[in-house]
Amino acid sequence: MRFSRRVEQLVHSPIGAAHALVGLRTNERPLLDLSQAAPSFPPADPVIERIAEVAHEADAGRYPPQPGLPQLREAFANDLNDGYAANIKPDDVLITAGCNQAFCCVASALTSPGDEAILVAPFYFNHDMWLKIEGVEVKYLEPGPDLQPDPKQAQALITDKTRLITLVSPGNPTGVTIPKETIHEFAELAHSNNIALIVDETYRSFRDEQSPAHELFSDSNWRDNIISLHSFSKDFAIPGYRCGAVVGGKAAITEALKVLDCLAISAPRIGQEAAIAGLLHAQQWRLEQASRIKDLELRFLKSMDGRPGGFKVISSGAYFGWVQHPRPDLTTQEVVRRLVLEHDVLTIPGTAFTNTDQAMIRMSFANLEPTQVDELPSRLNEFG
């Protein structure tokens, strides 16, 4: 049996690889899990109640409309309009089985094998993986010391084969939020080069500011080049129900639908019903969770202030701390392995998000309890 060379050349899932190490542990001390970004806490009560109701309804197992349940597309368009002072229509929204699938559908609709795409480094690993599966050459836009991308440097990477630029804000793995002015410059760059700007806004609810993340939707021509991606998993703690969204113009939605038809036909009905319940009945809960996670970030930064074990926080935000480890004599993979097996701390190596080993690891503090955040420095001090 033969397999695709493009798939064979990919790394295995960084999340799966990290969790495989857990099975090798012999320590009895409880694990501090700073690996995944998926919420580990339960959804709001109205969401839980709606999930239970849907299971008993006659159409629970049937396909929903392929673009998404009309009530969800309308509720989400209204949510975006409230958040961005925009005029997004339900027809601008395509519901997908999670934000990962939203990116896959859009990227496949925009590119052909041999085309080029630009990702800002450090990049989200699934974006990189999917583009490579599709035979797209990825060019990496290295950020400045503040981890902010520079549109002028991006222009130098654009060729006649370039089809898209992707921004993730707040970033995964860095947590860095890109200022709206910079996002607008990238939008102008995309427009002038007739390419797509994909803005992955998975963590938009976990920014430090409640003001709009950008004003792209205020431009009457935004549908020509702008595609925005969203996740209900993070906002309403329903990662296992797989519900995300593409926001774009008619052409982008039409072509992405063709890809969705092959990947999943439609997003699961139960996840869409959970998202509707969240949008209609859990907005205050959503704000409270964002505030709680911000408090965890501040606690995390305080706990890391003394650089325990030599570990230094380079940036943080949303769910993540982007942390430099103190052992340049070791590969980052080895550092992560030792943290799990010897010190009971599970993290993701920065090599999942970069092309070279930069001695970085991603710590997701959002799923820890406050007491676990307080415990982290003593475990890291053991490493030294």
Residue where a domain terminates, one of 282, 302, 319: 282
- List Cα–Cα distances, 319 to 29, 37, 154, in angstroms: 24, 6, 27
CATH code of the domain containing 29: 3.90.1150.10
Tens-of-pLDDT digits for all 384 residues of the chain? 988 888 878 777 777 888 888 877 788 899 999 998 878 889 999 999 998 888 777 677 788 888 999 999 999 999 999 999 899 999 999 999 999 999 999 999 999 999 999 999 999 999 999 999 999 999 999 998 899 999 999 999 999 999 999 999 999 999 999 999 999 999 999 999 999 999 999 999 998 877 889 999 999 899 999 999 999 999 999 998 899 999 999 999 999 999 999 988 889 999 999 999 999 999 999 999 999 999 999 999 999 999 999 999 999 999 999 999 999 999 999 999 999 999 999 999 999 999 999 999 999 999 899 999 999 999 999 986
How do beta strands 320-324 and 312-317 pair? antiparallel
Q: Which of 231, 252, 282 lies at the terminal end of a domain, its last residue?
A: 282
Residues 38 and 125 in one domain: no
Range of the domain at 224: 45-282
Per the CB < 8 A criterion, the answer to whether 344 and 31 are in contact is: yes
Q: Give the domain CATH number at 270.
A: 3.40.640.10
Contact 311, 380 (CB under 8 A): yes
Number of domains in the chain: 2
Residues 38, 54, single domain; the answer is: no
Are 132 and 158 in the same domain?
yes
**226 pairs with which residues across the strands?**
197
Q: Do 301 and 165 fall within a single domain?
A: no
Instruction: Compute the residue count for the chain.
Output: 384
Q: Find out whether 229 and 196 touch, Cβ atoms under 8 Å.
A: no
337-369 in b/e form (b: 16+ CB < 10 A) is bbbbeebbbbbbbbbbbbeeeebbbbbbbbbbe
Model pTM above 0.85: yes
Asked if 94 and 218 sit in the same domain, the reply is yes
Boundary-marking domain end, from 282, 312, 338:
282
Other beta carbons within 10 Å of 186: 25
Asked if 72 contacts 272 with a C-beta cutoff of 8 angstroms, the reply is: yes
